[in-house]
Structure 1
Amino acid sequence: MPPVRRSKRLQPSQPAEAARQTRRRDSRTPTRAPLDRPKPARKKAASKQTFPQRSVSQTSTDPNESSRLFRIPRELLYEITAHLPPAGLACLTLTCKLALETLGTDSWAAFRGRARLYHSPEGSLCNLLARDLPGHEYCVRCETAHPPLKPPRGHRCTKYTQSCFGFEATIDSWPQTEHGGYSIVWPHIQQTFEARGADAVNSPPLELFEGDFSIRAGTVNYRLISSARWIDRNLVLEQEYRVSSAVTKGPLQAADVTSLPLRVCAHLTTATAPPKGQPAPRKAAQAVPNGPLLTHAITSAFPVSLRRNVPASKTFRAPRPSEETQMTEGEGDPGFIWRCRSCPTKFKVEYVSQSGGELVVRAWYSFGKEVYRAVDYWKWFVRRDHENLGRTKRNSEFYVPSRVVPNFAIE
């Protein structure tokens, strides 16, 4: 039987087979030119440092670099500081910039946020800060050592103070400006009760609450005079509002005062519309107009010829029975004492016709005889009308709650 002759296609030559295998290897491994250099490995993003970076000039002129503590190797320094308590290590980082740069701020984590609720190391840190910063007080809310509290005439309510005292911890007397104003916070009242002496039955004016400033608001001049004293063992704050005309076109009109956002307390104001930033109610039934008591008291103090262009009665809500009684009895009586139905506030309105006319409103606020009563009254005085609050938690001229308000002496 003759042998079977194979086709040349089934018998590839040795060079062709070697070339095919080479192509297979090249398809699995990408080719690279001899001059191509491998790309450097991507470095991991540097973690955000928790300590400030110093410049070269600061580094060269820092006298702390010559101290023995920072001349030793850092590994040895870390080993030494590892035996310090958290409060001691945190205070060491606060001694100088070099210590802060070398040790970092990791030790601060034990005193911030929720960590202090579990470890409770803030007591020792507060003691050390009080020793090194006399007169300062460590605030747990904002985690800052505050300087001594300023009196109401110098205290300013800012976004930083709100984080310390909370949303409802300030009584602002309109207006608040950069260079003038009057703002009371709860520590002012608390300090007064703690420092109360045996002469608290009837005392002279307290220096802490004294204040006097003036501004121009539109066509009128506004002045606020404030003081406080103990009357029959009650802490009574007195504020006198004086509004006079700033133009020479004519005497002061009642409309000049009622157009201002004049506020006597959290529930008595001349405003007729919600403040800026307050969202409009979704339903008409939710819109509660302001009460007419303060506007009526101011208008009735002016002569009839100066009462033009005041807001109409339909602009306000219907007066409550106690308010209606006061509006009837106090009509035209400059010595009548008006009262707020929602907080311990009394005021008197008088019009002085001299020098173009001036309106004088004297208001008295009682914080009670004991500090536990002052805590309750404080919540009544502070105005709360934020959109995130429920209707029962609001306390303003548009959400006036009914309360049993105690009586108090003012003279």
Structure 2
Amino acid sequence: MKEDELRTRLRFWVETHYDLQDQRIITDNRIDAIERSKDYNQMDAVISGMRETSRKLEDHEEEAKKHIKNLLKEHPLWNRWLAGVHGMGPALTGGLIAWTYCGSKCREMSSGDGYEKYDQQNKRWKECPYWEDCQGKRDIRRFHTPSAYKKYVGLAPGMGKKQGQDHSYKHEFKPHVIKIAKQFRRQGKEYRKLYEQFSEKYWGRARNKGKDIVPSKDLPEDDGGNKYEPEGVVSEGHLENLTLRKLGQTFLIHTYDVWRRILGLPVKEPWITSKSPDAEKHRYLKPRIDNKSKIKRGVPGLWKSDKEVKAENERLEGILDDHPVDAELKTIRDAFDEGSLEEVFGADLPGSAIEEIRETLEREEPTIVE
């Protein structure tokens, strides 16, 4: 399937899935409201019909999810990373991929030296700012840096929605990434650890500043009935939102990193860990994966699939069989990682065998024998 067709179909089924989900939730909420009302006993037939509607919506929702999963099998971000990440199901992954792609209808300019997209507000075509990067591909290649990607989503610093102003980002993408962060909080494994790390950071910062941490329900209200945080007070909900936002930002950086590596493109380290005045206080938290047996291939410079590691081990065992050396594969890998192959095995293996071991382990995508 061509990339344009995959992108179009994926976007359609993702948005269909969430439309159905929204309608099901609305229906279920109405059922709950009726059951709590005084007229509950007189509404049996209505409730029965609404429950049947909810069930049908859920069936259609699952059907849409099946279409998404089938499409994801053809996308490398799924079969080389996200299929092995706990908490990232087809719907969440589909939304991440579909909304990363540019949804604008682009066409060649008459002069042939640029790209345009339609400006809905001004009813005219305007030059697309991403053409130089994407060249019509419309995927992660449009973004020079992780910060540009976060800005596109709406999770860059200072991008909160201000009253009376339009969104300057994709309105459906930002809540979707926060939904991913919440899913990691519930079902994640490695990303759950990151959530706990960030949560500890924000709670510790608040305590170090001497602030009182209170439940959100205990915050006072102003004259308009809106809750606010008095001086020296921070709510638990505020800290939780900071944690989820940080986790969402980190996951976007990881998506940028992995996707570009898969495409064979250079990856820029996040600004905060490379050029920030406080760079020495930070370190880049590399992308996580939980189950490598779920992925088909690895990602250069990050990880290898279980199948690839098995192929490497078979090759290493073949090298060892040709020489009378009693060594475990883990010992060989550790020596390779530490750059001490010659030091550890120089007395037992010829230089050609050591070089063969090095070439085997340096190979990003080893040949897999089916």
Q: Rg larger in 1 or in 2?
A: 1
Identify the structure with bigger relative contact order (alpha carbons < 8 Å, sequence gap 6+): 2
TM range, smaller chain: under 0.3
What TM-score, normalized to structure 1? Answer: 0.24
Structure with more helix by fraction: 2
